[in-house]
Amino acid sequence: MPGLVNAHTHLYSGLAPLGMPVPERTPATFVQILERVWWRLDRALDERSLRASARYYVAEALMNGTTVLVDHHESPDFIEGSLDVLADVCHELGVRALLCYGATERNRGRDEAREGLRECARFVHANRRPLVRGLVGLHASFTVSDETLEEARDLCRDLGVVSHVHVAEDHADVDDARGRGYDGPLERLLRHELLGTELRDALQRAPGTGTAVAIVAAAIAPSLGDARGAEQAYAESGLKGFESKLTRDYLQHVTSTRPHRAVRRFFAAFIDLRNLMTLYKHLRWQIDDPAAFVPGGTLDTGRLREASAQGDGEYLDSAVRRVTGEPAAPAAAGQVALESRLLASLTRMLRKAGRDGDDVDLVLDYVWCTYVHARNRALYLHAGGMDAEVLQPELIA
Ligand SMILES: [Zn+2]
Protein backbone atom coordinates (compact mmCIF):
# COMPACT_ATOMS: atom_id res chain seq x y z
CA MET A 1 0.00 0.00 0.00
CA PRO A 2 1.64 3.31 -1.01
CA GLY A 3 1.99 5.96 1.72
CA LEU A 4 2.79 9.65 1.45
CA VAL A 5 6.35 10.89 1.96
CA ASN A 6 7.05 14.17 3.71
CA ALA A 7 10.51 15.08 2.44
CA HIS A 8 11.16 17.98 4.83
CA THR A 9 9.63 18.68 8.19
CA HIS A 10 10.32 19.63 11.82
CA LEU A 11 8.87 17.24 14.38
CA TYR A 12 9.97 19.62 17.13
CA SER A 13 7.25 22.07 16.06
CA GLY A 14 4.51 19.44 16.44
CA LEU A 15 2.71 21.25 19.26
CA ALA A 16 2.93 24.71 17.65
CA PRO A 17 -0.48 24.48 15.91
CA LEU A 18 -2.11 24.03 19.34
CA GLY A 19 -1.20 27.62 20.21
CA MET A 20 1.85 29.80 20.80
CA PRO A 21 2.24 33.27 22.31
CA VAL A 22 2.30 36.08 19.75
CA PRO A 23 5.79 37.64 19.42
CA GLU A 24 6.11 40.97 21.27
CA ARG A 25 7.14 42.74 18.08
CA THR A 26 5.50 41.54 14.87
CA PRO A 27 8.16 40.05 12.57
CA ALA A 28 8.44 41.69 9.17
CA THR A 29 11.07 39.53 7.46
CA PHE A 30 11.88 35.85 7.18
CA VAL A 31 14.89 36.18 9.45
CA GLN A 32 12.78 38.04 12.03
CA ILE A 33 10.20 35.22 11.92
CA LEU A 34 13.01 32.79 12.68
CA GLU A 35 14.47 34.99 15.41
CA ARG A 36 11.23 35.91 17.14
CA VAL A 37 9.28 32.65 16.73
CA TRP A 38 11.08 29.46 15.72
CA TRP A 39 14.52 30.08 17.22
CA ARG A 40 12.88 30.98 20.54
CA LEU A 41 10.78 27.82 20.40
CA ASP A 42 13.70 25.54 19.56
CA ARG A 43 15.86 26.97 22.41
CA ALA A 44 13.03 26.23 24.85
CA LEU A 45 12.87 22.52 23.97
CA ASP A 46 13.91 19.89 26.48
CA GLU A 47 13.52 16.14 26.38
CA ARG A 48 9.89 16.08 27.57
CA SER A 49 8.56 18.84 25.35
CA LEU A 50 10.44 17.40 22.37
CA ARG A 51 8.95 13.95 22.95
CA ALA A 52 5.43 15.38 23.27
CA SER A 53 5.83 17.43 20.06
CA ALA A 54 7.16 14.48 18.12
CA ARG A 55 4.44 12.12 19.34
CA TYR A 56 1.69 14.52 18.37
CA TYR A 57 3.29 15.23 14.99
CA VAL A 58 3.93 11.59 14.06
CA ALA A 59 0.43 10.49 15.10
CA GLU A 60 -1.12 13.23 12.95
CA ALA A 61 1.12 12.33 10.01
CA LEU A 62 0.14 8.66 10.16
CA MET A 63 -3.54 9.49 10.45
CA ASN A 64 -3.20 11.51 7.24
CA GLY A 65 -1.53 8.69 5.32
CA THR A 66 2.10 9.83 5.63
CA THR A 67 4.34 6.88 6.34
CA VAL A 68 7.80 8.39 5.71
CA LEU A 69 9.14 11.54 7.39
CA VAL A 70 12.41 13.29 6.54
CA ASP A 71 13.00 15.38 9.65
CA HIS A 72 15.31 18.31 10.22
CA HIS A 73 15.79 18.74 13.94
CA GLU A 74 17.09 21.60 16.13
CA SER A 75 17.01 22.04 19.90
CA PRO A 76 20.17 24.06 20.77
CA ASP A 77 19.84 23.59 24.54
CA PHE A 78 19.25 19.85 24.25
CA ILE A 79 21.47 18.52 21.46
CA GLU A 80 23.08 15.27 22.63
CA GLY A 81 20.51 12.47 22.66
CA SER A 82 17.81 14.55 20.96
CA LEU A 83 17.76 12.31 17.87
CA ASP A 84 17.14 9.28 20.10
CA VAL A 85 14.02 10.96 21.48
CA LEU A 86 12.68 11.45 17.94
CA ALA A 87 13.78 7.98 16.84
CA ASP A 88 12.06 6.30 19.80
CA VAL A 89 8.80 8.06 18.93
CA CYS A 90 9.04 7.07 15.24
CA HIS A 91 9.88 3.48 16.18
CA GLU A 92 7.10 3.26 18.74
CA LEU A 93 4.40 4.67 16.43
CA GLY A 94 5.69 2.80 13.38
CA VAL A 95 6.62 5.55 10.91
CA ARG A 96 9.68 5.39 8.67
CA ALA A 97 12.00 8.33 9.26
CA LEU A 98 15.28 9.93 8.23
CA LEU A 99 16.58 12.04 11.10
CA CYS A 100 19.36 14.61 11.41
CA TYR A 101 20.40 17.43 13.70
CA GLY A 102 20.65 20.72 11.75
CA ALA A 103 24.06 21.97 12.90
CA THR A 104 24.31 25.75 13.20
CA GLU A 105 26.54 28.50 14.63
CA ARG A 106 23.73 30.95 15.29
CA ASN A 107 23.72 30.80 19.10
CA ARG A 108 27.14 29.63 20.30
CA GLY A 109 29.34 29.63 17.20
CA ARG A 110 31.55 26.76 16.11
CA ASP A 111 31.16 24.81 19.36
CA GLU A 112 27.44 24.62 18.79
CA ALA A 113 27.98 23.45 15.20
CA ARG A 114 30.40 20.74 16.33
CA GLU A 115 27.90 19.49 18.91
CA GLY A 116 25.24 19.29 16.21
CA LEU A 117 27.45 17.32 13.85
CA ARG A 118 28.59 15.09 16.69
CA GLU A 119 24.95 14.27 17.48
CA CYS A 120 24.40 13.24 13.83
CA ALA A 121 27.51 11.03 13.89
CA ARG A 122 26.59 9.49 17.24
CA PHE A 123 23.09 8.69 16.03
CA VAL A 124 24.12 7.24 12.65
CA HIS A 125 26.50 4.87 14.47
CA ALA A 126 24.29 3.94 17.41
CA ASN A 127 20.84 3.65 15.86
CA ARG A 128 19.49 0.12 15.46
CA ARG A 129 15.80 0.86 14.94
CA PRO A 130 14.80 -0.83 11.68
CA LEU A 131 12.51 1.93 10.34
CA VAL A 132 14.81 4.85 11.19
CA ARG A 133 18.06 6.12 9.61
CA GLY A 134 20.33 9.05 10.40
CA LEU A 135 21.72 11.75 8.09
CA VAL A 136 24.07 14.71 8.50
CA GLY A 137 22.19 18.00 8.95
CA LEU A 138 23.06 21.68 8.63
CA HIS A 139 20.58 24.41 9.48
CA ALA A 140 21.26 26.58 6.42
CA SER A 141 24.15 28.09 4.52
CA PHE A 142 23.65 31.49 6.19
CA THR A 143 24.16 30.24 9.77
CA VAL A 144 27.36 28.22 9.24
CA SER A 145 30.98 28.97 8.35
CA ASP A 146 33.02 27.31 5.61
CA GLU A 147 34.81 25.28 8.31
CA THR A 148 31.51 23.76 9.44
CA LEU A 149 30.55 23.03 5.83
CA GLU A 150 33.82 21.16 5.34
CA GLU A 151 33.39 19.20 8.57
CA ALA A 152 29.86 18.23 7.54
CA ARG A 153 31.11 17.12 4.13
CA ASP A 154 33.86 14.95 5.67
CA LEU A 155 31.33 13.47 8.06
CA CYS A 156 28.99 12.58 5.18
CA ARG A 157 31.86 10.79 3.44
CA ASP A 158 32.97 8.95 6.57
CA LEU A 159 29.46 7.80 7.45
CA GLY A 160 28.31 7.17 3.87
CA VAL A 161 25.17 9.30 4.27
CA VAL A 162 23.80 12.39 2.51
CA SER A 163 23.19 15.84 4.00
CA HIS A 164 19.95 17.69 4.70
CA VAL A 165 19.98 21.51 4.64
CA HIS A 166 17.66 24.46 3.94
CA VAL A 167 18.62 26.17 0.68
CA ALA A 168 17.50 29.71 -0.26
CA GLU A 169 14.33 29.63 1.85
CA ASP A 170 14.60 33.40 1.65
CA HIS A 171 16.70 35.94 -0.21
CA ALA A 172 18.62 36.52 3.04
CA ASP A 173 20.33 33.15 2.44
CA VAL A 174 21.30 34.22 -1.09
CA ASP A 175 22.58 37.62 0.10
CA ASP A 176 24.64 35.95 2.81
CA ALA A 177 26.28 33.51 0.36
CA ARG A 178 27.03 36.37 -2.06
CA GLY A 179 28.54 38.37 0.83
CA ARG A 180 30.89 35.42 1.40
CA GLY A 181 31.97 35.50 -2.25
CA TYR A 182 29.75 32.74 -3.75
CA ASP A 183 27.11 33.09 -6.49
CA GLY A 184 24.48 31.75 -4.08
CA PRO A 185 23.88 29.10 -1.36
CA LEU A 186 23.57 26.24 -3.84
CA GLU A 187 26.86 27.23 -5.48
CA ARG A 188 28.41 27.40 -2.02
CA LEU A 189 27.26 23.87 -1.19
CA LEU A 190 28.42 22.65 -4.59
CA ARG A 191 31.87 24.21 -4.08
CA HIS A 192 32.23 22.44 -0.74
CA GLU A 193 30.96 19.19 -2.26
CA LEU A 194 28.14 18.92 0.23
CA LEU A 195 25.50 17.64 -2.13
CA GLY A 196 24.98 13.95 -2.86
CA THR A 197 26.81 12.77 -5.98
CA GLU A 198 23.61 12.26 -7.96
CA LEU A 199 22.28 15.72 -7.16
CA ARG A 200 25.66 17.34 -7.82
CA ASP A 201 25.96 15.61 -11.20
CA ALA A 202 22.40 16.54 -12.07
CA LEU A 203 22.95 20.21 -11.22
CA GLN A 204 26.13 20.34 -13.27
CA ARG A 205 24.51 18.99 -16.42
CA ALA A 206 22.86 21.22 -19.00
CA PRO A 207 19.24 21.72 -17.95
CA GLY A 208 16.74 20.15 -20.31
CA THR A 209 14.38 17.27 -20.90
CA GLY A 210 17.19 14.86 -21.78
CA THR A 211 18.89 15.52 -18.45
CA ALA A 212 15.63 15.07 -16.54
CA VAL A 213 14.96 11.79 -18.35
CA ALA A 214 18.44 10.47 -17.53
CA ILE A 215 18.09 11.43 -13.86
CA VAL A 216 14.64 9.87 -13.48
CA ALA A 217 15.81 6.73 -15.27
CA ALA A 218 18.85 6.41 -13.00
CA ALA A 219 16.76 7.07 -9.88
CA ILE A 220 14.24 4.31 -10.60
CA ALA A 221 16.79 1.82 -11.90
CA PRO A 222 17.50 0.21 -8.51
CA SER A 223 13.86 -0.73 -7.96
CA LEU A 224 13.00 -1.64 -11.55
CA GLY A 225 16.39 -3.06 -12.45
CA ASP A 226 16.62 -1.26 -15.80
CA ALA A 227 17.77 2.31 -16.45
CA ARG A 228 18.83 1.90 -20.07
CA GLY A 229 15.37 0.86 -21.27
CA ALA A 230 13.71 4.10 -20.20
CA GLU A 231 16.44 6.27 -21.71
CA GLN A 232 16.29 4.26 -24.89
CA ALA A 233 12.50 4.66 -25.04
CA TYR A 234 12.99 8.42 -24.80
CA ALA A 235 15.60 8.38 -27.58
CA GLU A 236 13.29 6.35 -29.82
CA SER A 237 9.88 7.85 -29.17
CA GLY A 238 10.25 10.95 -27.04
CA LEU A 239 8.48 11.75 -23.79
CA LYS A 240 5.44 9.66 -24.67
CA GLY A 241 7.59 6.58 -25.15
CA PHE A 242 9.48 7.33 -21.94
CA GLU A 243 6.28 7.68 -19.92
CA SER A 244 4.78 4.57 -21.39
CA LYS A 245 7.94 2.54 -20.68
CA LEU A 246 8.06 3.79 -17.08
CA THR A 247 4.41 2.93 -16.47
CA ARG A 248 4.77 -0.52 -18.06
CA ASP A 249 7.88 -1.34 -16.07
CA TYR A 250 6.32 -0.09 -12.86
CA LEU A 251 3.12 -2.11 -13.30
CA GLN A 252 5.09 -5.23 -14.12
CA HIS A 253 7.31 -4.63 -11.11
CA VAL A 254 4.35 -4.19 -8.73
CA THR A 255 2.59 -7.33 -9.87
CA SER A 256 5.80 -9.33 -9.45
CA THR A 257 6.34 -8.24 -5.82
CA ARG A 258 3.55 -10.46 -4.40
CA PRO A 259 1.51 -7.68 -2.76
CA HIS A 260 -1.57 -8.23 -0.57
CA ARG A 261 -4.38 -9.88 -2.60
CA ALA A 262 -6.49 -6.69 -2.53
CA VAL A 263 -3.61 -4.67 -3.98
CA ARG A 264 -2.91 -7.42 -6.53
CA ARG A 265 -6.56 -7.43 -7.58
CA PHE A 266 -6.53 -3.65 -7.96
CA PHE A 267 -3.42 -3.66 -10.15
CA ALA A 268 -4.75 -6.53 -12.27
CA ALA A 269 -7.93 -4.53 -12.89
CA PHE A 270 -5.91 -1.38 -13.56
CA ILE A 271 -3.72 -3.23 -16.07
CA ASP A 272 -6.86 -4.60 -17.80
CA LEU A 273 -8.18 -1.07 -18.06
CA ARG A 274 -4.95 0.21 -19.54
CA ASN A 275 -4.72 -2.69 -21.99
CA LEU A 276 -8.30 -2.15 -23.15
CA MET A 277 -7.64 1.55 -23.74
CA THR A 278 -4.51 0.60 -25.69
CA LEU A 279 -6.49 -1.89 -27.79
CA TYR A 280 -9.17 0.73 -28.43
CA LYS A 281 -6.55 3.20 -29.70
CA HIS A 282 -4.87 0.52 -31.82
CA LEU A 283 -8.17 -0.35 -33.47
CA ARG A 284 -9.20 3.23 -33.96
CA TRP A 285 -5.92 4.48 -35.42
CA GLN A 286 -4.84 1.18 -36.98
CA ILE A 287 -1.70 0.98 -34.91
CA ASP A 288 -0.06 -2.36 -34.25
CA ASP A 289 2.43 -2.39 -31.40
CA PRO A 290 2.45 -5.81 -29.72
CA ALA A 291 4.80 -4.54 -26.97
CA ALA A 292 2.24 -1.99 -25.77
CA PHE A 293 0.22 -4.54 -23.77
CA VAL A 294 1.24 -5.02 -20.14
CA PRO A 295 1.15 -8.50 -18.60
CA GLY A 296 -0.30 -8.98 -15.11
CA GLY A 297 -3.99 -8.29 -15.83
CA THR A 298 -6.79 -10.83 -16.14
CA LEU A 299 -6.93 -10.47 -19.93
CA ASP A 300 -4.43 -12.58 -21.83
CA THR A 301 -1.84 -10.37 -23.57
CA GLY A 302 -1.51 -12.87 -26.43
CA ARG A 303 -5.21 -12.53 -27.16
CA LEU A 304 -4.99 -8.72 -26.92
CA ARG A 305 -2.11 -8.68 -29.41
CA GLU A 306 -4.07 -10.93 -31.76
CA ALA A 307 -7.13 -8.66 -31.56
CA SER A 308 -4.93 -5.66 -32.27
CA ALA A 309 -3.26 -7.32 -35.29
CA GLN A 310 -6.60 -8.50 -36.73
CA GLY A 311 -8.56 -5.31 -36.04
CA ASP A 312 -10.96 -7.40 -33.94
CA GLY A 313 -13.55 -4.93 -32.58
CA GLU A 314 -15.77 -7.73 -31.30
CA TYR A 315 -13.08 -8.94 -28.93
CA LEU A 316 -12.77 -5.40 -27.54
CA ASP A 317 -16.55 -5.26 -26.95
CA SER A 318 -16.66 -8.64 -25.26
CA ALA A 319 -13.64 -7.85 -23.07
CA VAL A 320 -15.15 -4.51 -21.99
CA ARG A 321 -18.37 -6.38 -21.17
CA ARG A 322 -16.47 -8.90 -19.13
CA VAL A 323 -14.49 -6.30 -17.20
CA THR A 324 -17.30 -3.83 -16.53
CA GLY A 325 -20.26 -6.23 -16.42
CA GLU A 326 -22.09 -3.86 -18.78
CA PRO A 327 -22.71 -3.90 -22.51
CA ALA A 328 -19.87 -2.18 -24.38
CA ALA A 329 -20.40 1.46 -25.29
CA PRO A 330 -20.89 1.98 -29.00
CA ALA A 331 -17.54 2.69 -30.66
CA ALA A 332 -18.90 6.05 -31.79
CA ALA A 333 -19.18 7.14 -28.13
CA GLY A 334 -15.42 7.57 -28.20
CA GLN A 335 -12.37 7.17 -26.11
CA VAL A 336 -13.41 9.42 -23.23
CA ALA A 337 -16.67 7.55 -22.69
CA LEU A 338 -14.90 4.19 -22.69
CA GLU A 339 -12.26 5.35 -20.26
CA SER A 340 -14.84 6.82 -17.85
CA ARG A 341 -16.80 3.56 -17.93
CA LEU A 342 -13.74 1.49 -17.22
CA LEU A 343 -12.64 3.76 -14.39
CA ALA A 344 -16.16 3.77 -12.94
CA SER A 345 -16.18 -0.03 -12.97
CA LEU A 346 -12.95 0.07 -10.98
CA THR A 347 -14.68 2.34 -8.45
CA ARG A 348 -17.53 -0.18 -8.14
CA MET A 349 -15.14 -3.08 -7.68
CA LEU A 350 -13.19 -1.27 -4.94
CA ARG A 351 -16.34 -0.01 -3.24
CA LYS A 352 -17.72 -3.54 -3.04
CA ALA A 353 -14.42 -4.98 -1.79
CA GLY A 354 -14.17 -2.13 0.74
CA ARG A 355 -17.54 -3.12 2.18
CA ASP A 356 -17.00 -6.89 2.14
CA GLY A 357 -13.24 -7.30 2.51
CA ASP A 358 -10.61 -6.56 5.14
CA ASP A 359 -8.77 -3.40 6.26
CA VAL A 360 -6.60 -3.28 3.16
CA ASP A 361 -9.67 -3.32 0.90
CA LEU A 362 -11.17 -0.50 2.93
CA VAL A 363 -8.03 1.64 2.71
CA LEU A 364 -7.71 0.93 -1.02
CA ASP A 365 -11.30 2.04 -1.55
CA TYR A 366 -10.58 5.22 0.39
CA VAL A 367 -7.38 5.96 -1.56
CA TRP A 368 -9.14 5.39 -4.89
CA CYS A 369 -12.04 7.64 -3.84
CA THR A 370 -9.55 10.36 -3.00
CA TYR A 371 -7.85 9.92 -6.36
CA VAL A 372 -11.15 10.09 -8.27
CA HIS A 373 -12.19 13.13 -6.29
CA ALA A 374 -8.87 14.88 -6.95
CA ARG A 375 -9.03 14.04 -10.67
CA ASN A 376 -12.55 15.43 -10.99
CA ARG A 377 -11.65 18.55 -9.03
CA ALA A 378 -8.60 19.12 -11.22
CA LEU A 379 -10.82 18.90 -14.31
CA TYR A 380 -13.17 21.50 -12.88
CA LEU A 381 -10.25 23.71 -12.02
CA HIS A 382 -8.74 23.60 -15.50
CA ALA A 383 -11.88 23.27 -17.59
CA GLY A 384 -14.67 24.52 -15.34
CA GLY A 385 -15.71 27.06 -17.98
CA MET A 386 -16.41 24.39 -20.59
CA ASP A 387 -19.89 23.19 -21.54
CA ALA A 388 -21.33 20.67 -19.11
CA GLU A 389 -21.86 18.24 -22.01
CA VAL A 390 -18.16 18.29 -22.87
CA LEU A 391 -17.03 18.07 -19.29
CA GLN A 392 -19.50 15.50 -18.03
CA PRO A 393 -18.10 12.42 -19.80
CA GLU A 394 -14.61 13.25 -18.50
CA LEU A 395 -15.71 12.99 -14.87
CA ILE A 396 -15.45 9.59 -13.21
CA ALA A 397 -18.13 8.15 -10.99
ZN1 LIG B 1 12.55 23.60 7.41
**Which DSSP helix (H) or strand (E) runs through 333?**
none
Q: From residue 159, give the alpha-carbon distance in Å to each of 46, 123, 190.
A: 27, 11, 19
Per-chain mean pLDDT for the chain: 90
User: Looking at 71-75, 76-80, 199-203, 206-210, which range is the least confident one?
Assistant: 199-203
User: Looking at 103-107, 134-138, 334-338, which range is the least confident one?
Assistant: 334-338
Q: Which residues contact 170 (CB under 8 A, 6 or more apart)?
A: 29, 30, 31
User: Looking at 23-37, 157-171, 198-212, which range is the least confident one?
Assistant: 198-212
Amino acid 216: pLDDT: 82
Confidence band for 133, pLDDT divided at 50, 70 and 90: very high
Asked if the model's pLDDT at residue 340 lies above 90, the reply is: no
How much distance in Å is there from the Cα of 370 to the middle of ligand 1? 28
How much distance in Å is there from the Cα of 263 to the middle of ligand 1? 34
Q: Is 73 within 8 Å of 83 (Cβ atoms)?
A: yes
Asked if the model's pLDDT at residue 19 lies above 80, the reply is: yes
Q: From residue 253, give the alpha-carbon distance in Å to each of 17, 121, 258, 261.
A: 40, 36, 10, 15
Q: What gap in Å lies between CA 279 and CA 288, rounded to an integer?
A: 9
Confidence band for 1, pLDDT divided at 50, 70 and 90: low
How much distance in Å is there from the Cα of 374 to the middle of ligand 1? 27
Asked if the model's pLDDT at residue 227 lies above 70, the reply is: no
How much distance in Å is there from the Cα of 96 to the middle of ligand 1? 18
How much distance in Å is there from the Cα of 35 to the middle of ligand 1? 14
How much distance in Å is there from the Cα of 364 to the middle of ligand 1? 32
Q: Is 74 within 8 Å of 139 (Cβ atoms)?
A: yes
pLDDT per residue as tens digits for the range 232-287: 888 888 888 888 888 888 888 887 888 889 999 999 999 999 999 999 999 988 88
How much distance in Å is there from the Cα of 326 to the middle of ligand 1? 51
How much distance in Å is there from the Cα of 102 to the middle of ligand 1? 10
Please tell me whether the overall predicted TM-score, pTM, comes out greater than 0.75 for this model. no
Helix and strand counts by DSSP (H, E) for the chain:
17, 7
Asked if the model's pLDDT at residue 221 lies above 80, the reply is: no
How much distance in Å is there from the Cα of 182 to the middle of ligand 1? 22
How much distance in Å is there from the Cα of 183 to the middle of ligand 1? 22
Asked if the model's pLDDT at residue 161 lies above 90, the reply is: yes
Closest CA to 279 of 292, 267, 270: 292
How much distance in Å is there from the Cα of 163 to the middle of ligand 1? 14
Neighbours of 312 (CB within 10 A): 17
How much distance in Å is there from the Cα of 167 to the middle of ligand 1? 9
Amino acid 327: pLDDT: 74
How much distance in Å is there from the Cα of 390 to the middle of ligand 1? 43
How much distance in Å is there from the Cα of 145 to the middle of ligand 1? 19
* Residue 322: alpha-carbon gap to chain centroid: 35
Structural domains present in the chain: 4-204 (3.20.20.140), 258-394 (no CATH)
Sheet containing 4-9, strands listed edge to edge, beginning at the edge strand earlier in sequence: 4-9, 66-71, 96-99, 132-134
How much distance in Å is there from the Cα of 9 to the middle of ligand 1? 6
How much distance in Å is there from the Cα of 368 to the middle of ligand 1? 31
Neighbours of 45 (CB within 10 A): 22
Q: What gap in Å lies between CA 64 and CA 82, rounded to an integer?
A: 25
